[in-house]
Amino acid sequence: MSLWLDGVQRAYPPLEGDATADIAIVGGGIAGIASAYFLATAGARVLVLEARGVAEAASGRNAGFLLAGVAENFVAASRRYGDDKALRIWRLTKRTHELVRSLVARHGIECELRWHGSDQIAGDEEEWREIAESARRLAAHGARVSVDARTRSATYADDGDLHPVKWVRGLAHAAASAGARIHEDTRVESVTSGEARTARGSVRAGAILLCTNAYTGHLAPSRVRPVRGQMLATAPTAPAFARPAYAKRGYQYWRQTADGRVVVGGWRDIAVDHEVGESEQPTAEIQSHLDRF
């Protein structure tokens, strides 16, 4: 069960019967809801089909970080993708931050948004050298970053965090206000050219967007290999962490929520073979590390 979903009530009815739309969107996470918002505000007839509830899958089961770039440091990303692509990714995520900021302000979305920076912490000496070099390179491109050799970390001042379910559901409300039709409890069983079929009806549309992330297997089995993560949340406690933190190349991460809960996740690198698929059963070995944090 996700901390962020505690007490959340579904707000949209299931689809009953057949419908038509300019664009049908399968999936009510951040990708599907954001697509619905921008398409609806542009005047398209949009219909969203969500198997569970809005933001109840991956978009509501994460740490709620708002970090620029990818999970690894910029040097590691450059090694994997090349310097130009790594920089483009970083700039894209920076623009995403500004988009989140503007949408939250425009629609008055109450999602505990905080811009208080993030820490990137080295797990070993090699990673520390990369973190320090990453900070130097990104500072040349405008990043507000400082390094601390004592803690072997870099602090990026423009990052932040939020309540992911409140964020996505707030944007869903804005999308619906712009004319998007959203249906929860509506699992799409199959998709063909121009048609999405559910157990209780179908939708014909000029285009169909699959925004199902890891949950795409039954619709496009050869396209996606789902992997997962595991997290733990405490009861509210005294302030312990000033900002969200990523450590050990993104395999360990934690933050403290606005009400004082410590949220910690990761360690999937110690049980990679178990962290594959859609099962929601915790992995005992990983849980033991989370419990000891």
Beta strand ranges found along 31-143 (DSSP E): 46-49, 65-66, 118-121
The whole-angstrom separation of Cα 74 and Cα 137 is: 8
Q: Residue 285's pLDDT is what?
A: 81
What is the length of the chain?
Answer: 293
Domains in the chain: boundaries: 3-61+164-216, 227-293
The whole-angstrom separation of Cα 52 and Cα 57 is: 8
In contact, 140 and 171? CB cutoff 8 Å: no
The whole-angstrom separation of Cα 103 and Cα 258 is: 20
DSSP H helical ranges for 52-110: 74-81, 83-107
Residue 220: exposed, middle, or buried by beta-carbon count in 10 A (0-12, 13-18, 19+)? exposed
The whole-angstrom separation of Cα 108 and Cα 250 is: 31
Tokens of 209: 């967007």
SS3 of 84, please? helix
The whole-angstrom separation of Cα 47 and Cα 140 is: 43
CATH class of 3-61+164-216: alpha beta
Task: Measure CA 60 to chain center.
Answer: 8
Please report, for the chain, how many H helices and E strands are present, in that order: 6, 15
Angle among Cα 226, 228, 233 to the nearest 5 degrees reads 155
Tens digits of residue pLDDT in 138-196: 999 999 999 999 999 999 999 999 999 999 999 999 999 999 999 999 999 999 989 99
Tens digits of residue pLDDT in 44-87: 999 999 999 999 999 999 999 999 999 889 999 999 999 999 99
Residue showing tokens 């804005």:
174
Tens digits of residue pLDDT in 207-260: 999 999 877 777 877 777 778 888 899 999 999 999 999 999 988 999 999 999
Q: Residue 278's pLDDT is what?
A: 72
